[in-house]
Structure 1
């Protein structure tokens, strides 16, 4: 395939030697058709996954026991009717990426930020300290009225690490959670929070760091799910039990429902 045309107002074409020419408009339609096929494949896989998940498993404690109140058909209807290319969250096109909550998919940034209301993940990627602090302060994260803050970072391109700041405790406590329980990553995120986050807290308190070592992911893709679980556990006072491991698929379905619900008002 090669592009042909002249400078100025030329109309560019794509040419296949064995087929001929296609206009730009025709190429755009081809892209839309291809994207639709890919999207529908993901939708089909998600619907099949919903059928396989036990929505009312035993051992689900508060506050995670809200989803059994809803029938599976409601979950499936939300997926079938989601506008795959039409709504945004915080300026980011979602494009059906919330479907990655299904099965054993690694959660992308869209799935993560839909559940983070305070310190957005972007700050951690900047090399410049000033830029990191500025990015961390977006979204009103350090407003004096916020007594508790949550944040999450992508440490190496495909692994999520979470932290929870509680200014109601004495001393102020920052709980770190690496789903893989890596000492090296714990040291790295503690250093970053200490240099970029803590100095921006109202009153500049002394912060005590601790590590949430109760949960360790058992695969290579569930770090995002367990990070979201960690947030909810810390904010609600939920007590960890090893039985929670077998409920991972249920938690994925639960967070998918919350994300779809939260994007309904943003449909364009």
Structure 2
């Protein structure tokens, strides 16, 4: 059924009850679109894995990105902290020879010094640079795609109102560069892009905010029902809600 023909209550009920486990956004197919960064993280990840003997994927989510890479190191380990994702990643990655370790993403990482020659992470919530440097072998690299500053803030501010400049400036790629260098790593690549994102119905917005829980902390339909009703009317009359996703790619090397 065309989403525009469905009532507000129907869209809400569906989006409230669908599972948000894992890091697969295929439920949004046809309901939301997001430009992809030009660099192609998963392709580059596979290329780097071909040169690694031991690799670590931090905050793997449901393991979808790592599983979809063209190559994995002979010894590859993934960490994840959210129980539904741990179970999903285990089912997906174990048949590929990848060990999944439950870890709450608080220092220290549960590995010895110089354990890996490649550490990767796609969209980490937090980055513990000193720990990354510790578990990397000399000559090893950290390779990561991260969420940049004020990402999808058109949607965030629709619900929360204007955000302070210090909040809007958080997660800036130059902050990542400084933190990496402070941990003793040398940044060899740093790129950033702003990418158009469209939400075609209010159910897509609800699903997104339930899944990406830090965008509107504590989001529930009941709390924001009035704003969701207004958003539903806005999309029906004017078309998709447009926001801009911020992404950056960083690669840092441990030289010594």
TM-score, normalised to structure 2, is: 0.24
Higher helix residue share: 1
TM-score, normalised to structure 1, is: 0.23
Higher relative contact order (CA 8 A, sep 6+): 2
Higher strand residue share: 2
